[in-house]
Structure 1
Amino acid sequence: IGYDHRSSTSEPFDISSLSFAIITALVFMEAGIKCFLIDGLVATPLVPYGVLRYVPEIMYANQEKNVVSFGVMITASHNPAQDAGYKVYWTDGCQIRSPIDQGIASKIEENLTPWTDYQKLYDDRKAKYPSDPCLGLSLPVETEKMVDAYYDAILHSGLVTGIAKQIQPQATNALKFCYTAMHGVGYKFAKRSFSNFGLLPFASVAEQEEADPTFPTVVFPNPEEKGALDLAKKYALEQNCKIILANDPDADRLAVSEYNPSTDSWTDLTGDQIGMLLGHWLWTQFKDGKETMSQKGPSTSGADAVPISMCCSTVSSQMLATMARQEGFHFEDTLTGFKWIG
């Protein structure tokens, strides 16, 4: 179970993502289900990683059999400040799809009366652990291990190519990045990602660096919304940065903007453009000496050949599909949403 920084004190509710995560953990524990409550604010991608990779490895190491793992992320993502949200990840690491969602909904209807007085359990733990935000339910050591494993997996995925070493820090035209967490949880995760890839530290928009559930500097905390990057663009020019990277509040969405000094203007890249750039870069990194799975079957070269395929939602640009036809790798068109792409 992971959670972001959302919090609401409006009547009749006084609830936060953390308190909801604690209640969620108590429900599972009372039902006899082992629960890993992540310690501290977390970027959403860490939860499906834990479901798919980290928790099963722990269970395997402990010789526990017939174990299934699933995840919950308490977040309203890039929605307005007053919203709350609850994402559920199934055993495949993807958000739930039909008929799983229908099954959960039916069980909610069948169990509208709580099995236990969870508020009392919550209050009792609050009295017992007054200085622990997670009320003694989180696993700090395991959280640190999981985060380390996540970045180690990226480091050894083949995505870290070392090309960042070509950037000369003292060069007048050195590529500098500006980053904004958009008042969300992304700052420390983005900082470590830059270190992981050997990139120079980015310039962070200080006013939007810390997690703040009121989102005081933006009308709508979605980096793709018009005007959301205004503060970052101003700061980027002050720091001589030509590229802005922005996460949404739960750090599973990316926005990019590029400055053109010849026209003194910014270009906000669309999701289609970002996806195409990433897809093309991935292809150029992996195509040589690898196996490509085309519609006609595998074409293998090299002793360490691996299949290469890409997918995107049906409402997206067809550029990746065109590149797949041209280059000969496999492409799938999916329904809209991360869950279908996953």
Structure 2
Amino acid sequence: MNLQEKIDEYLKFECDEDFIKELHNAGGQEIVDAFSKRIKFGTAGLRARMSFGIKYMSCGSVWRASQGLCAYYLKSLPKDEVTKTCVIIGYDARYKSRYFAAITAAVFLSKGLKVHMHDKETFTPLNPFCVVKYKALCGVQITASHNPKMDNGYKVYGPLGSQILSPVDVEVEQEIESQSVAWEGVNEIIDHENRWINFNHPLVANLIDSYEEDWNDYCDAVTEKMNLGSFADVKLKIGYSAMHGVGYRHVKELLDKLDYPKLSFFSVPEQQNPDPEFPTVKFPNPEEAGATDMSLKYAEQNNCNLTFLNDPDADRLLCIEYQPKTNSYYQFTGDELGVLLCHFAYEIHSKHGKMAMARSAVCCGFMDTFVKHSEGKVAQVECLTGFKWLATNLLREYETYGRYPAYGYEEALGYALCVDIVPDKDGVSAMMGTIKLASRLHELGLTLKDHLEQLMENYKYYFVTKNGYYIIANTNVLGQAIKKFRNNNYELGIPDFKVSRVVDMAIFYDSSKPNNKPDLPNTGEDMLMLTFENGFHVTYRNSGTEPKLKYYSEMVSDISQDEARANISNYLQIVSDALFAGFELN
């Protein structure tokens, strides 16, 4: 297909005058680039910068993707079942999100399917909750999470409520590719002037806005699952930032339902309401440098014991705690809060007997030690990065072995404490669980940090993590470096850095296994995990959505956290310098 044919086909789907105008005003090379390749549909759905063309997020891309997704799921349904099932659609507060959601809904409505779509921005975890609640065919959430402001995304949940895995993504992508014309009837369901739904269309009778019921059901369900009880006697002052996203309404209403004292909650006013410009932060990601500055200042002004930040779609959580001993605030890493909530989840879900817990492969190893000391009560599942793996594997443990899916976490601030009803990370329920734990400790004169230190002492597992990324112009850097390392028999040639375990996912190799095969799924991706006899561990992998080479390092000591902290930065530098010698990293 030549360039003009690609443009003509794209315009059959594109309905947004903004994108059409961009196309008409674009220069030659810009147009060539925009139509060079179609935006890839993966297990995370779609995510890219918003612009015209098949390479980016646009109304045309969303329309075509929705037809492919709808066609894929309709193949699994007998005709007499179509009107009996439903699809869940939600959206955040980013530019174009509401319009993208309307287009998605119109596609499914055009085929006679019922669609549950709330007439307001919602936090992402409500979507998988509704997929489980309604036993839906699938769910679509329009969100780009914590990406830059000009990005948007199309996140897909399967019938279990967890994100889709391969080969579903490949099969859906094939369906998307086969869609060469817009389906009849879709355009009439959309009100393009208001960028929403045409409520005069007869098929819109199948559109259901059940927000109040769904939100109340969510609140009741997580309150019961986590045994939250009442927060009326909580003596902690709590600071909060929604980072210009959708979290504030959900957090405030749930705290009110739990009877938390209204005068003890301090939301950063400048970041409280949804704003797609994200005007007070460079990047709307709690992990980025400077993202917590405004929250910390507000916490100090109001003497807050705890301060929380959600990312814009409120599925991630960052926690900061005031330390009376040092008169300072301590920001927990994703792993540190992950460990605290791991122990909390064990306590609140122990009534279920056999349990399963999961962490991603790049998390610290504390959960491994914790599970070994659980006397067989907990089975652990190690997964690749991404909650699609964690949630799906935990649900399989429940279905196959009857082990209750008690908890899953990833170091990138993602926590799941109610996996059976919300099979994805959830920053709102994680915040409530952390408040519950902190309040209980406060009554004993302890802080969360005190408790974390107690857990390290109890299990003789003192750890420190250091995670980050390098900006790379060439995404082949990691693969080339691993190949060079592999050809050198996995030897770095550094004194005092003897490798005790190598996991090379590109060739599906694990030196610690009898058959040298990892327990992780074989995805063929460039991912290297190294464990050294001196207690240092590091994993390198490419980002799936950005030009970044990510690293995740951990230093473990059986003596003290101070000893681990003293070595980690230096050890990371030594290993990275040796592994990537001759390659350019920023």
Which residue of 118, 124, 128 maps to 1:48?
128
Indicate the residue corresponding to 1:10 in structure 2.
Answer: none
Structure 2 portions without partners, runs of 5+: 1-88, 392-586
Q: In the alignment, is residue 337 of structure 1 matched against residue 386 of structure 2?
A: yes
Q: Give the C-alpha shift of residue 259 in structure 1.
A: 2.5
**C-alpha distance 75-321 of structure 1, shift in aligned 2 (>3 A):** same
1:119 deviation in Å?
4.6
What's the C-alpha RMSD, in Å, of the aligned pairs?
Answer: 2.0
SS at match of 2:320: strand
Displacement after TM superposition at 1:195 (Å): 2.9
**What is the CA-CA distance between 1:182 and the residue it aligns to?**
0.4
* 1:214-236, Cα deviation, whole Å (9 max, x unpaired): 00000000112111010011111
TM-score calculated relative to the size of structure 1: 0.80
Query: Structure 1 residue 322 and structure 2 residue 369: aligned?
Result: yes
Structure 1 pair 265–134 and aligned structure 2 pair: CA distance change class (3 A): farther
Identity of aligned residues (%): 40
C-alpha separation between the residues in 2 aligned to 1:36 and 1:286?
31
Partner of 2:261: 200
Letter in 2 for 1:82: M
Cα offsets for 1:276-316 (capped at 9, x unmatched): 111111223343xx3xxxxxxxxxxxxxx543221111111
Cα offsets for 1:143-164 (capped at 9, x unmatched): 21111111111122243144x4
Mapped contact 2:237–2:306 kept (Cα < 8 A): yes
2:171 is aligned with 1:103 = yes
On the 8 A contact 1:39/1:134 being kept in 2, the answer is no
| Whole-Å separation in 2 of the counterparts to 1:254 and 1:119 | 39
Match of 1:63? none
- Which amino acid in structure 1 is aligned with residue 280 of structure 2? T
CA displacement, residues 170-225 of structure 1 (integer Å, 9 cap, x when unaligned): xxxx4111011000000011112323444333210010000000000000001121
Question: 1:137-216 residue pairs with structure 2 within 5 A?
Answer: 139-140=208-209, 142-162=210-230, 164-167=231-234, 174-201=235-262, 202-216=265-279
TM-score norm. by structure 2 comes to: 0.48
Q: 1:116 to 1:133 in 2, by over 3 A?
A: closer
Gaps of 5+ in 1: 8-15, 57-67, 168-173, 291-304
Aligned letter for 1:152?
Answer: D
Change (3 A) 1:133 1:110: closer
Aligned partners of 2:348, 2:124: CA distance in 1, in Å?
Answer: 27
**Distance in 2, Cα, partners of 1:27 & 1:133:** 13
Shift in CA distance, 119/330, structure 1 to aligned 2, threshold 3 Å:
same
Which residue does the alignment assign to 2:526? none
Query: How is 1:1-342 mapped onto 2 (pairs within 5 angstroms)?
Result: 1-7=89-95, 16-53=96-133, 55-56=134-135, 68-116=136-184, 118-119=186-187, 121-122=189-190, 125-126=191-192, 134-136=197-199, 139-140=208-209, 142-162=210-230, 164-167=231-234, 174-201=235-262, 202-287=265-350, 290=351, 305-328=352-375, 329-342=378-391
Question: Is the partner of 1:156 in helix, strand or coil?
Answer: helix
Separation in 1 of the partners of 2:115 and 2:168? Answer: 20
Read off the aligned partner of 2:151 and give its amino acid letter: D
C-alpha change, 1:107 and 1:232, in structure 2 (3 Å) is: same
Q: Which structure has the highest strand share of the two?
A: 2
CA-CA distance at 1:38 after TM superposition: 1.7
Contact 2:232/2:261 (<8 A) preserved:
no
- Tell me the amino acid that sits aligned with residue 245 of structure 2: G
Any conservation in 2 of the 1:183–1:211 contact (CA below 8 Å)?
yes
Question: In the comparison of the two structures, how many residue pairs are matched?
Answer: 293
Larger radius of gyration: 2
